[in-house]
Copies of this chain bind each other. A is one copy, B any other.
Amino acid sequence: MIIFESFLTNTMKKRQITLKDIAKALDLSVSTVSRSLSDHPDISPGTKVLVQRFAKEHKYKPNAFALGLKTNANKTIGVIIPEIVHFFFSSVLSGMQDEAEKDDFNIIICQSNEDYAQEVKATQTLLAAQVQGILVSSSKTTTCFEHFQEIVDNNIPLVFFDRICTGINTDRVVVDDYQGAFTAVCHLIGQGCRRIVFLGASSLLAIANNRRMGYEDALRKHGIVIDEECMPVCDTIELARRIIPLFLAKEQRPDAFFCVNDEVASFCIRMIKQAGIRVPEDISVCGFTNSQIAELIDPALTTVDQHGFELGATAMRLVIDRINGEETKDGIVSRVIKTKLIIRESTR
């Protein structure tokens, strides 16, 4: 015992206890200690309890680096996300965390802040950290995919979620954007709206295109003429502040706004009300995501639930299955999370 404790007084800096320390203290070999802790049948019951008790008492924890060096696995998964401060993405992250925990995987997060360069850097960071799998929702400004290809080339399972990259062949989990938009716009039309504006996002994003297509097809189905003017890029509060007044000032005022996210939808409602126009009597507003805010504003927001938590959990499940070899499909696995229209008070 004295021998073991001596490592403390010698260095004065507490170090983690190792197998070697235990071996020395108990006058055993490192191998015997190792086998005792892993309950190997070769070891006598007496030695086992001796070692196990000692290890527990001294809070022995296997060194993750040594383990990683041997097995090349550290139970860590990297996530690249555009922005954490975002109801949808934080929900996704929460779902991932929840699912990862079930298999004792850790999550390393990186933010791209919607910036290509930061996204590339994040990729390098995760590769350097030797993660076993990577989950990505690409930034709005990403048009080049080499960094993602490098992940694949390194043989590390890669799964895109929500914002996928069409330029690269790998697993993906997306939301049913087209159907969600289609259903929402059909609902608006069903309530009598005819001049429906789509406040969308950059067409670099597949999700934005899909929602636009759902919007267009819904109009088409009901014989409403599609007007390019009525689908501007308007996915931030700043843009909304400039763009919405232009529509409200038109002599043929819109009777509905279908917004690409709930923040824009909420802000939209504010601006309409401030212009002295009623929601939903004069203008209906529908959002996309179903964030907390939807229930807090007045009138409560009709919106399309994206099931972020479920999406995150599904994506995480997929990488883990790839890592464990439980998902063996040769081609791309593509999962779709169903959206759900939540009708509240902001639409007639």
Interface residues, chain A, with chain B CB atoms under 8 Å away? 13-14, 16, 59, 61-66, 68-69, 72, 74, 76, 83-87, 90-91, 93-94, 97-98, 104, 106-111, 125, 127-130, 150, 153-155, 237, 263, 266-267, 269-270, 273, 292-293, 295-298
Contacts and interface: CB of A to CB of B under 8 A. Distances in A.
Contacts of A267: 295-296
Contacts of A155: 13-14
Q: Which of A62, A66, A154, A298 has the most CB of B within 10 A?
A: A298
A130 B296 contact: no
A65 to B, nearest CB: 4
Contacts of A13: 155
A74 B130 CA distance: 11
A292 B104 CA distance: 34
A279 B69 CA distance: 62
A296 B295 CA distance: 12
A126 to B, nearest CB: 8
A65 B69 contact: yes
Contacts of A76: 108, 129
Contacts of A292: 263, 293
A107 B109 contact: yes
B85 A111 contact: no
Nearest to A89: B90
Contact of A68 (B68, B94, B297): B68
Contacts of A63: 69, 130
A266 B125 CA distance: 40
Q: Which of A65, A83, A106 has the most CB of B within 10 A?
A: A65
A176 B68 CA distance: 43
A294 B144 CA distance: 37
A91 B84 CA distance: 8
B94 A106 contact: no
Given A14-B154, A65-B72, A298-B273, A94 B87 contact: no
Contacts of A66: 65, 69
Contacts of A86: 90
A125 B102 CA distance: 12
A307 to B, nearest CB: 13
B74 A65 contact: yes
B65 A130 contact: yes
Contacts of A64: 68, 128-130
Contacts of A14: 153-155
Contact of A129 (B106, B130, B263, B296): B106
Per CB-CB distance, the 5 closest pairs between chain A and chain B, nearest first, are A65-B68, A266-B296, A65-B69, A64-B130, A85-B90
